[in-house]
Amino acid sequence: MQHDLGYFEEGQLDKTYDLRLLKRMLPFLAPYRLWLALSVGIVVTLTLMDLALPYLTKTAIDRYIVPATSISRDNADGTDEAGFLTVQTTDPAVQAIVDRHPGLFQIDGTAARIARRDLTALSPEGLKILRHRDLDGLVWITAAFLLLIGLDFGFNFVQRLVMEYTGHRIMHDLRLKLFDRILNLSLTFFTRNPLGRLVTRVTNDVQNMHELFTSVLSMLFKDLFLLVGIGAVLLVMDWRLALAAFAVLPLVVIASLWFSRRVREVFRRQRVKIAEINTHFAETVGGIKILQAFRREARNEKRFRRLNHENYQAGMDHIHILAVFMPLVEVLAVVTVAIIVWYGGFRIINADMTLGVLVAFISYLRMFFRPIRDISEKYNILQNAMASAERIFLIMDSPERLPRPVARPLPGRDEIGRIESIAFRRVGFSYVPGEPVLADVSFDVRAGQTVALVGATGSGKTTLTMLLLRFYLPDQGRILINGQDMAAVDPDALRARMALVSQEPFLFAGSVRANIFPDPENVSEKTVQAILTAANSQSIVARLPQGLDTPIGEGGSALSSGERQLFSIARAFAREAEVIILDEATSYIDSNTETRIQEALRRLTANRTTIVVAHRLSTVRQADQIVVMDRGRIQETGTHEQLLQQEGYYYRLHRCQA
């Protein structure tokens, strides 16, 4: 039997799908919309403060530092008001300077005017006296600068705090949603997708979404507001100079489009390679004993080296794209500044523009290209997050989910009560379309009976137990529980009445107590001891350093196969199930331990409905009914003696094993 092992990464992203993914994230953002709105409000405030700083520079230059370069306004008498500094001689200090340089001043009552070009003839002390208003203005401008910088720091701190909190909460909710979805997927999904790939989804991919929530959502607003705000301010200050600056923008747009197209595929390749590396690593660690026993270390290392190198190449391709795009943006920024210096300087020389406007333009243009670079980086994060979101939502949208009953029209529709009968009616099933595993299987199980499923490997015995546990639904036919179709039964209600003891019992990382008892805090010590005694597990617990509270590693690797099996039987006892399913429960056990396990199993199955999957026919002699399977079909049914008397398929199996 072959399974389709195609992975999610084979699909292609496009911009419309990006928009759909962003739309699907809205439900995760909705509970935190007030926090997001607060963040956007802070971002708008920060943008306005950033826009104010260069304008303060312009004001300082044109009004207080070099007002002589202002555009002249000739009076009727031919004088240039902007070319003179007017002071009042009522100030004794000013009068002293006027008396010291009578040839430089024009007296008009209490007012004295001096050409600004003649200010260089005065001493520094004299300049301070005459230009004290300019100096006072610079002090106020400086104070405004410091105030804006302080407010900028405070608002940035609050904005970062808000977005980090919101991002972590959204990531927390997304990871829980994804984990809950994975828990409810059918086993078919897990046969198609290796562990390492799923680990990547829950860890790396969700972490990539954190960058989207904390960096892109709010800062993208800031960058867009800043670009629009700078464009508007430049047009208001001097539209001709603004148009000259915007002449380079088409090249910036072309470079950005090239960058976005190239970086999209690189991010997809990186996500695929990281998932493949995680998958390969998980397989290596999980099969380390077989790997070392068969001396496959070199081959495994060679494969890992190849995957790692492909991931390295994808990373280098990303770096190469950034190495072209980022310097290109810097070059275009420098070219734009050069155009502004040339054109603006020409207009200043012709007294058509002030020096403050030119300086402010240069500052604004440097700010203008900063959000362009930021948006490119945010696009990096966005594409990385979209590649991760695609994987996450493909899991959430996976159709490989075991159907649950539709909404109940009557109370208790999927409450099945005590299981009195189980009936398989012409059941057919296949893991892969066109490759049937079961065909036309029909038999009945009554409460308290022990039914054994026997047959060669691959005959469909274990598949029948998987259908009974409702891990899958039949492709044809029906399974009836108390006469009710299993498809109408809630899987949780069904499994609550069943317990599985498999040939490879799995124990979770944690204490022995937590593995055996579903709610260890609410189990009395008397009940604990009774269950351990019934499962023949007391002697094992007594040898453990901390008894039932002894921690065991993942899968119970520190315990022997027999000890794990006895603990799994104790777990079945603690469940108080009505139906016990034994899937080759003594396959890998030595004879001494098998005796203890068989004794525990007899206690477990007493007065309970039992389904036994067995290869060794000696373990099913006492079964009330034996169902003989071959190639997915029932060959014979009956008791041990009846089947031997028929001298059919079971008789030949018995002779072979004897």
Residue pLDDT, tens place only, 306-327: 989 988 998 888 888 878 887 8
Q: Which residues contact 467 (CB under 8 A, 6 or more apart)?
A: 427, 429, 438, 473, 474, 479
In a domain, 114, yes or no: no
In a domain, 412, yes or no: no
Q: For residue 170, give the H/E element and its range.
A: helix 132-183
- The pLDDT of residue 83 is 66
Give the separation between CA 658 and CA 654, rounded to whole angstroms: 6
Give the separation between CA 33 and CA 51, rounded to whole angstroms: 27
User: Mean pLDDT, to the nearest integer, of 56-69?
Assistant: 75
Question: pLDDT, tens digit, for every residue of 146-194?
Answer: 999 999 899 989 988 888 888 888 888 888 888 888 887 877 777 777 7
Identify the domain containing residue 653 by its residue range: 421-657
At 434, phi and psi to the nearest 5? 90, -5
In a domain, 182, yes or no: yes
Share of the chain above pLDDT 70, in %: 89
Cβ neighbourhood burial of 526 (10 Å; 0-12, 13-18, 19+): exposed
In a domain, 74, yes or no: no
Tally of residues, the chain = 658
Give the separation between CA 43 and CA 278, rounded to whole angstroms: 38
Report pTM.
Answer: 0.64
In a domain, 615, yes or no: yes
- Contacts of range 155-161, beta carbons closer than 8 Å, 24 or more positions apart: 155/42, 155/45, 155/46, 155/49, 156/46, 158/42, 159/39, 159/42, 159/43, 159/46, 159/218
* pLDDT over threshold 70, residue 225: yes
Are 385 and 259 members of one domain? yes
Which two three-digit tokens encode residue 26? 């809205």
Cα distances from 380 to residues 209, 224, 262, 319, in angstroms, run 12, 16, 11, 11
Instruction: Please report, for the domain that includes residue 447, its CATH number.
Output: 3.40.50.300
Q: Which residues contact 464 (CB under 8 A, 6 or more apart)?
A: 424, 427, 438, 441, 453, 611, 629
Cβ neighbourhood burial of 219 (10 Å; 0-12, 13-18, 19+): buried
Instruction: Please report, for the domain that includes residue 271, its CATH number.
Output: 1.20.1560.10
Give the separation between CA 557 and CA 572, rounded to whole angstroms: 20
Are 330 and 464 members of one domain? no
Q: 3-state SS of the chain: helix, strand, coil percent to 5?
A: 65, 15, 20
Q: State the total domains in the chain.
A: 2
In a domain, 117, yes or no: no
Are 469 and 366 members of one domain? no
- The pLDDT of residue 246 is 85
Are 191 and 304 members of one domain? yes
